[in-house]
């Protein structure tokens, strides 16, 4: 099997895996970064969202072999110190119910807000609509994204 050196949360990490291994399984099974969740495995739910060079990316849909020159950030690396402002807003708004989708939601929201500092409600809904929450915490998610943008 080939070896790859990846930039994960600002650190160089080496893994030896098949070239078509999705990033999701590299994170969870090889690097023990289990904050990134498996939901559907087919790019439909958003639970596995991480940042790749700052963009929200579904880690179940990107293979390890294309990542060597890119920067990956997971929920564990979102904030350098304490909580990221989006995480603060999530706590303040008491968003999670079961919590399973929340890492993906926060990674999508934080990438979105880094591009759009003053989003409208419609823009927030458009940005977040691909992240599924089975507890339907969508109203609180929207509130938290608005709060984080303030």
Binding site for ligand FES (CB under 6 A): 38-41, 43-48, 58, 60
Query: The dihedral of CA 28, 96, 130, 80: what is its sign?
Result: negative
Cβ nearer to ligand FES, comparing 41 with 85: 41
Burial class (CB in 10 A: 0-12, 13-18, 19+), 139: exposed
- The answer to whether the CB of 61 falls within 8 A of the CB of 14 is no
Nearer Cβ to ligand FES, position 132 or 147?
132
At closest approach, how far in Å is the CB of 46 from ligand FES? 5
Residue 76 beta carbon to ligand FES: minimum distance, rounded to whole angstroms? 17
Least Å from the CB of residue 67 to ligand FES: 15
Distance CA 142, CA 10 (A): 29
Cα maximum dimension of the chain: 48
- For ligand FES, the closer of residues 37 and 143 by Cβ is 37
Taking the complex as a whole, the smallest distance from the CB of residue 39 to ligand FES amounts, in Å, to 4
């Amino acid at each position: 099997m080939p070896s790859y050196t990846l930039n994960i949360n600002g650190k160089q990490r080496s893994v030896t895996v098949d070239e078509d291994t999705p990033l999701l399984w590299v994170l969870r099974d090889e690097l023990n970064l289990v904050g990134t969740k498996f939901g559907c495995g087919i790019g439909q739910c958003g639970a596995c969202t991480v940042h790749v060079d700052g963009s929200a990316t579904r880690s179940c849909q990107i293979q390890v072999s294309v990542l060597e020159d890119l920067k990956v950030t997971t929920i564990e690396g979102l904030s350098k110190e304490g909580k990221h402002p989006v995480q603060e807003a999530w706590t303040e708004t008491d968003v999670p119910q079961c919590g399973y989708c929340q890492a993906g939601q926060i990674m999508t929201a934080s990438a979105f807000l880094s591009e759009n500092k003053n989003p409208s409600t419609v823009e927030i809904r458009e940005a977040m609509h691909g992240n599924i929450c089975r507890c339907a915490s969508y109203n609180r998610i929207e509130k938290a994204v608005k709060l984080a943008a303030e």
